[in-house]
Amino acid sequence: MTERLPGWRDIPIGGVAFKPSEEYKTGDWRVFRPVLNKEKCNRCYLCHFYCPEGAIKVLDTGDIEIDYDYCKGCLICVNECPRGALESVQE
């Protein structure tokens, strides 16, 4: 779906962002996707703390969840996971 973007008269000056950054889904930049193996995860949350995008959430249940709308696939989480619970899978 292509959205018609506003012209130069209709956007704020100075490059001021007129939409919140949440509307800009960066997940499609991804080449490799981190995939969680729940069996191996011991909930140390290192992935959550290391994720530069804040795309790894800790749920109320204590499980972690990867938000693929914003995960750019940098794979820092895969690298940091001490138990090998995150696997890199090509998109």
Among 14-22, 29-37, 57-65, 70-78, which window interacts with another protein (CB under 8 A)? 14-22
Spatial separation of the C-alpha atoms in residues 8 and 82, rounded to whole Å: 49
Spatial separation of the C-alpha atoms in residues 87 and 37, rounded to whole Å: 8
If one asks whether residue 35 binds another protein (CB under 8 A), the answer comes out as: no
Q: Closest distance between another protein and the C-beta of residue 24, in Å?
A: 9
Residue 7 or 82: which CB sits closer to another protein? 7
If one asks whether residue 5 binds another protein (CB under 8 A), the answer comes out as: yes
Name the nearest CA neighbour of 67 among 40, 38, 34, 37. Answer: 34
